[in-house]
Structure 1
Amino acid sequence: MDGHAAGDIPEAFNLLDTDHSGTIDMDELAAFKIDVMYDVESYLHKQIDDSWIALLVIAILILISSIITITVLCLLWRRHQQRIQVTNENPFLNNKSNRNRPLPVQQFNHCQSRLYETQKLQVFIPPSMDDTTERSLDEIHTRFKPRNDSQYVHQFCPSTSKAYF
């Protein structure tokens, strides 16, 4: 110990010996310890001044706002993903684009494929449109005069019915 520190010990002992009996009681030492602890805490509180408190408040606000922002982004992302899933399941809900829109395809059923109805329409057009006199033909009144050409069509295609337009 240097000389300065050695001189401080008797002075510190005299400060602790409040009754000047030459001894230090444990109560006096405990009271001194509490005073020293209070001085250390007050010293630490003095070190944290207003600028540090302001920085701590700003850091806490940034932490809280970042937690709120992350939560909101997660909720919006989930809503966006659900909207995309619904759009992918039903592409006709999305009217933004007419390109690449899949057409609904009905499943081919072999039982239903045998039951079908066919219609056949055959029209006779006369070779010459100059003859436009009307004549009653029992079935249909037309604007052209039937000639033997219609008989030729019926002979060539026997399954056709007599319909003239």
Structure 2
Amino acid sequence: TLCGVIRVYSIKRITYFIGLTMCVFSITTRAQLLSQTSQKDIESRISPVGSVYLKADITTHTLSKIEKKVIQPRTGVQVYNRYCVVCHATGVAGAPLKGNQQDWKPRLAKGMDSLLDNALNGFNAMPAMGTCIDCTKDEILKSIRFLSKTSQN
């Protein structure tokens, strides 16, 4: 079956030739596409997405609009309702309940400075700043006063 061997050999050569032709065609087509891509297209694809501006670069008109928005300090009620209510309304982990004189009496006896220190630095299960990481010392103090006033009936 010499004819069968020749036939298999011919099929392999034809397959090899077709594969080689496809590779050459693929490479030349890709090269043509790359040559058609202009330098401008390449620069637009790799250009930065955003920009950084320094305060000195912004015009005074734009800057005045930004600076006009001044953040007002929060009241004790606002701080309590946003951050403290979760624990102090339910007594989670032994937190003194708002309005409960029995819970607050021993704490108030230690003084406001002690209460403020505990609130700022954390005490027992209470985390530092009572979960309000962006509160000022004054806002924390206002929330303590709000809690203690509601407990002193």
Identify whether the pair has TM-score above 0.5, normalized to the shorter chain: no
Give me the TM-score of the superposition, normalised by structure 1.
0.26
Bigger radius of gyration: 1
More helix per residue: 1 or 2? 2
